[in-house]
Amino acid sequence: MTAIASMQGVLKRYGPQVALDYIDLDIGEGEIVGLLGPNGAGKTTLIQVMTGMKPFEQGKVTLFGSSGNPFSYANKEKLGLVTQEITVFEELTARESLLFFAGVYGLKGKEKKNRVEEALAFVGLEEHAGKTPNKFSGGMKRRLNIACALTHRPRLLIMDEPTVGIDPQSRIHILESVKRLRENGTSILYTTHYMEEVQAIASRVVIMDQGQVIKEGTAEQLIQTIQHEEKVRIDVSDPDKVPVVSLLNIAGVKKADLSGSRITVVSAAGSGNLDRILSVVKAHTGVLGIQQDKPNLEDVFLTLTGKRLRDKEEEQ
């Protein structure tokens, strides 16, 4: 896949503190790269370096394959940035804000108006286009924040935690919009510390911590790297009739424990024996419910770094 943006050995320091530690990162054409990391991992610094806002000590940044200045106006015209903070003009209506940005990107006349209406419709704000953001909910402001980066149809869209502090409905709307953008051919770098978002939309996941890329791959690939066993919990109607010994005889099963009316069966990863386990159980007792534990990106992160992606307070 052709890299639309790449960083090679980028080192960025804030005084003695290393923010980006010889980072290598590629974003392919039409790819959604999910950049996952806890607060302070270096995600925002990476974006600031990639957009030319912050200088860096060593390494190379290439945008759109050009060998010259990566932050030239020509390259910036193909780049869209959705900032972490809501950066919309409080005194301008949604439509006026978009007209401002469309004008900066050199759009004129009818095309400018059409692109603005297109961006408003894309984020579902067409009915609120004449209102100023002080009449918007947090989610609507976030959507306007995204629309401001879309009027010029960027080839690469960089989204820095675009769903922080919003309601679930707006979050779903934003995630759906991101998927549609990808379908239209836009490459996206999506940073977040919500692993479920990355799992839902990213074609590739990059995990960052302490200024370093510690692992990358598809969500499935990353999960497989830590998946050593599979666990299934089965609630049964008659626990006394559960054939624990028969379950232990199934190939791949490591452990079978009965606790109350629930039996927990642990198998080796990839043994694919759920059907066999169920048929053995069903032959002796009724099955009331099944729950299969699968590791997620949170577990991957925990395994790799020994830390959680979000603090407990943040989750609340």
Q: Binding residues for other proteins, per CB under 8 A?
A: 47-48, 51-53, 73-74, 76-77, 79-81, 83-87, 89, 91-92, 96, 99-101, 103-106, 148, 160
| Shortest distance in whole angstroms from residue 45 CB to other proteins | 11
| Shortest distance in whole angstroms from residue 264 CB to other proteins | 49
| Shortest distance in whole angstroms from residue 222 CB to other proteins | 29
User: What type of residue sits at position 299?
Assistant: D
Closest to 96 (Cα-Cα) out of 172, 148, 142: 148
Q: Which run of H or of E encompasses 240?
A: none
| Shortest distance in whole angstroms from residue 108 CB to other proteins | 8
Distance CA 200, CA 293 (A): 18
Distance CA 33, CA 198 (A): 8
| Shortest distance in whole angstroms from residue 164 CB to other proteins | 12
| Shortest distance in whole angstroms from residue 261 CB to other proteins | 54
Q: Which residue, 22 or 100, is less far from other proteins as judged by CB?
A: 100
Q: Which residue, 88 or 247, is less far from other proteins as judged by CB?
A: 88
Q: Which residue, 102 or 236, is less far from other proteins as judged by CB?
A: 102
DSSP, collapsed to helix, strand or coil, labels residue 37 as coil
Distance CA 111, CA 117 (A): 10
DSSP string, 81-117: EE-SS----TTS-HHHHHHHHHHHTT--HHHHHHHHH
| Shortest distance in whole angstroms from residue 46 CB to other proteins | 13
**Contact between residue 157 and residue 80 where contact means Cβ atoms under 8 Å apart:** yes
| Shortest distance in whole angstroms from residue 42 CB to other proteins | 15
**Contact between residue 7 and residue 46 where contact means Cβ atoms under 8 Å apart:** yes
DSSP label at residue 150: T
Residue 112: CB atoms within 10 Å: 18
Helices and strands, number each (H, E), in the chain: 12, 13
Closest to 73 (Cα-Cα) out of 64, 83, 82: 64
Q: Which residue, 92 or 226, is less far from other proteins as judged by CB?
A: 92
**Contact between residue 247 and residue 280 where contact means Cβ atoms under 8 Å apart:** yes
Q: Which residue, 1 or 104, is less far from other proteins as judged by CB?
A: 104
Q: Which residue, 160 or 230, is less far from other proteins as judged by CB?
A: 160
Q: Which residue, 84 or 246, is less far from other proteins as judged by CB?
A: 84
Q: Which residue, 156 or 236, is less far from other proteins as judged by CB?
A: 156
- How many residues can be counted in the chain? 316
